[in-house]
Chains A and B, each alone.
Chain A
Amino acid sequence: MIIIRKNFIPHKIAFYVGIIVVWQIVSMVGIWPDNIFPSPYEVAEDLAYGAADGSLFYGIATSMWRLSIGLAIAISGGVVLGIFMARVEVINQTVGSLVLGMQSIPSIAWVPLAILWFGLSDGGIIFVTAIGAIFAVTINTYTGVKNIDPHYIEAARNMGAKGSQLIIAVLIPAAFPYMISGFKQGWAFAWRGVIGAELLFSFLGLGFLLNAGRSLNDVSQVISIMIVIMVIGLVIDTVVFKKLENKVMSRWGLQ
């Protein structure tokens, strides 16, 4: 399906150019010293340095690697948990209530426990990332499976689908539109979780670079890393999840 929408790209470009121009002007007026309020040029320069010596890419790669592992754990665990909650009422009443409670804990609040359990290691950061994302995936999967048209399940059983066949061939695909929202939320939590954990663990990655910028009093590094974090988040949101979501919605006839 093609949705015809007014093209706002020129407005967007003008908006961002405007921000940079205003920013440059404010920094040139010199209300604040350079080391508190750097110019966009200095931030860009910092990004270029980071790119040139590879530290920026290494930081991105490290964070993304942790994010991927954490999110993969969260998705596989959350899907399994969500399906069981939806299909077995006793699990829903017991485990399900705990999941709701756990979901309200911000991922950063898991950091002390992660440090005590895993030490200052990748494992700890991945743990924080995964646990921050898993409950969003679980709850969305649960809702998705609960909302499956019962005729799908009956038709499948009638045609001989049983047990794991039924789960793989029907429950998961039928609940997929909801699960996608769960993955999207999970990713957002995981991204916040991994950066937050890296800040506190101070052990490589973009969060570490942020913290390093702070301890060196290097405001332009801090701002440049924040921009990188924002851009990566935006790109994954729009390129990966929006596309996937649109495709699923139209295929499932929900659009």
Chain B
Amino acid sequence: MTKLEAKNIVKHFSHESHKLTALGGINLKVEAGDFVCLVGPSGCGKSTFLRIIAGLEKPDEGQILFDGHPVTETSPERIMVFQEGALFPWLKVQDNVEFGLKMAGIPKEERAKISNRYLDMMQLTKFANSYTYQLSTGMKQRVAIARALVMDPDVLLMDEPFASLDAQTRDLLLVEMQLIWEKTKKTILFVTHNVAEATVLGTKIVVFSNRPAIIKKEFENNFPRPRVTEDESLLKLQQDILAELRPEVKKSRE
């Protein structure tokens, strides 16, 4: 079943009085339960594309179909996990995780029940009463993921969530992300500039071209899980993706 469909998404930006086309007509179909990783040169508009799917930005042309209906505004059905987490520093970890539930008017006891489950899943129970400034970057990212999962979204949109993590923490979270995906069967779109990360996580890897971005190539990835970054079986796929990516990165620097 097609969960998401991007139809000819075009997005311009005005940059110091000249117009810049970030997305030059993106067409993409995402099936329910897909784990799609988007890779591309930095600044090619992958994040913008994610924001358009989230309904946080409007495309200049084209539309996103979600379960066949055009996306017009942002909604908890499509939850975004931001690169820096965007956790609220004035709330304790547990209250951060429960934020969306509170907005939805769910009573306190029920909120606690739901959030406890995800705090446990992300190994955050001990930190439920901490404030975010007391957490490491990796912990913060776990809270951000828990906060998104609590909403039980149809689609999880992740914008380079592991970019600022150290290698060990990232490896841990790569394993956890696979478990979460297998457990919850969520449809996930995951933006990264790290090809190894994409091949570990994705069932499908989509390569964006340089600006104005179009989808250059899609790769299927059915290697057995759990996968780790050093898996030799992933090497060939990583090389194929890099072969597509390299000329785009080069162009983006010209």
Give residues in A with beta carbon < 8 Å to B: 149, 151-152, 154-162, 165, 169-170, 173-174, 176, 250-253
- The docked-state distance in angstroms from the alpha carbon of A238 to that of B100 is 37
Q: Lowest 7 CB-CB distances: which A-B pairs, in order?
A: A159-B100, A253-B133, A151-B86, A173-B90, A155-B86, A160-B103, A252-B89
Q: Is the CB of B82 within 8 A of A151?
A: yes
Contact (Cβ within 8 A) B76 A170: no
CA distance A158 to B50 in the complex (A): 12
Instruction: Please report which residues of chain B, range 65-82, place their CB below 8 angstroms from some CB of chain A when the two chains form the complex.
Output: 74-76, 78-80, 82
> A160 to B86, Cβ gap below 8 A?
no
Chain B residues with Cβ below 8 Å from A174 are 88, 90
16 CB-based A-B contacts, threshold 8 Å: A151-B84, A151-B86, A152-B88, A154-B56, A154-B74, A155-B82, A158-B55, A158-B56, A159-B99, A160-B75, A162-B103, A170-B88, A174-B88, A176-B90, A252-B89, A253-B133
Q: Which residues of B contact A170 (CB under 8 A)?
A: 88
0/1 interface trace, chain B 141-153, chain A, CB 8 Å (1 if under): 0000001000100
**B132 interface residue, CB < 8 Å from A?**
yes
On whether the beta carbons of B90 and A251 are closer than 8 Å, the reply is yes
Is B29 part of the contact surface with A, judged by Cβ < 8 Å? no
A157 touches B86 (CB 8 A): no
Contacts of B75 in A (CB 8 A): 158, 160
Residues of chain A with a CB closer than 8 A to B132's CB: 253
Q: Tell whether A252 pairs with B133 under 8 Å between CB atoms, given A152-B86, A158-B56.
A: yes
Give Cα A151–Cα B50 distance, bound, in whole angstroms.
14
B104 at the interface (CB under 8 A from A): yes
Knowing A157-B74, A158-B80, A251-B133 are in contact, say whether A165-B103 is a contact too (CB < 8 A): yes
B131 CB within 8 Å of chain A: yes
Q: CA–CA, A170 to B86, complex, Å?
A: 12
Is chain A's binding surface mostly helix, strand, loop or mixed?
helix
6 additional contacts, CB 8 Å, given A152-B88, A156-B103?
A: A154-B74, A155-B80, A159-B147, A160-B100, A160-B104, A165-B103
B contact residues vs A (CB 8 Å cutoff)? 54-56, 74-76, 78-80, 82, 84, 86, 88-91, 99-100, 102-104, 131-133, 147, 151
**Are B86 and A159 within 8 A (Cβ)?**
no
Question: In chain A, what residue has the closest Cβ to B100?
Answer: A159
Asked whether A156 lies within 8 Å of B80 as measured between CB atoms, the reply is: no
- Are A159 and B90 in contact, CB atoms less than 8 angstroms apart? no
Q: Which of B54, B86, B103 touches A149 (beta carbons < 8 Å)?
A: B86
Contact A169 B102, beta carbon cutoff 8 Å? yes
Report how far A160 CA is from B106 CA in the complex, Å. Answer: 12
The CA of A167 and the CA of B56, in the complex, are separated in Å by 18
Give A248's nearest chain B residue, CB to CB: B90
Closest CB in chain B relative to A41 CB, distance in Å = 51
For the complex, give the distance between the alpha carbons of A176 and B90 in Å.
Answer: 9
Contacting residues, chain A, for B99 (C-beta < 8 A): 156, 159, 161, 169
**Distance, CA A162 to CA B100, complexed state (A):** 11
Q: How far is the CB of B27 from chain A (nearest CB, A)?
A: 24
Report the Cα distance A149→B88, complex, angstroms. 10
Residues B151 and A159 in contact, CB atoms below 8 Å apart = yes
Q: Which of A152, A157, A165, A169 has the most CB of B within 10 A?
A: A157
A156 to chain B, nearest CB (A): 7
Whether the pair A158, B74 counts as a contact (CB closer than 8 A) is yes
**B89 in contact with A253 (CB, 8 Å):** yes
Contact of B76 among A152, A159, A165, A250 (CB under 8 A): A159
* Closest A residue to B147 using CB positions: A159
Residue of B nearest to A162 (CB): B103
Residues of A within 8 A of B147 (CB): 159
> Could you tell me the distance between the alpha carbons of A70 and B131 in the complex, rounded to whole angstroms?
34
Residue of A nearest to B51 (CB): A154
Q: How long is the Cα–Cα vector from A162 to B80 in the complex, in angstroms?
A: 17
User: What residues of A have a CB within 8 angstroms of the CB of B80 in the complex?
Assistant: 154-155, 158
Docked pose: A151 CA to B90 CA in angstroms:
15
Residues of B within 8 A of A154 (CB): 56, 74, 80, 82, 86
Q: Is the CB of B133 within 8 A of A160?
A: no
CA distance in complex: A162, B151 (Å): 16
Residues of B within 8 A of A253 (CB): 89, 131-133
The smallest beta-carbon distance between B238 and chain A, in angstroms, is 31
Instruction: Write out the residue numbers on chain B whose beta carbons fall within 8 Å of the beta carbon of A149.
Output: 86
Cα A196 to Cα B168 with chains together (Å): 63
- Partner among A156, A165, A252 whose Cβ is within 8 Å of the Cβ of B90: A252
Q: What chain B residues lie within 8 Å of A169 (beta carbons)?
A: 99, 102-103
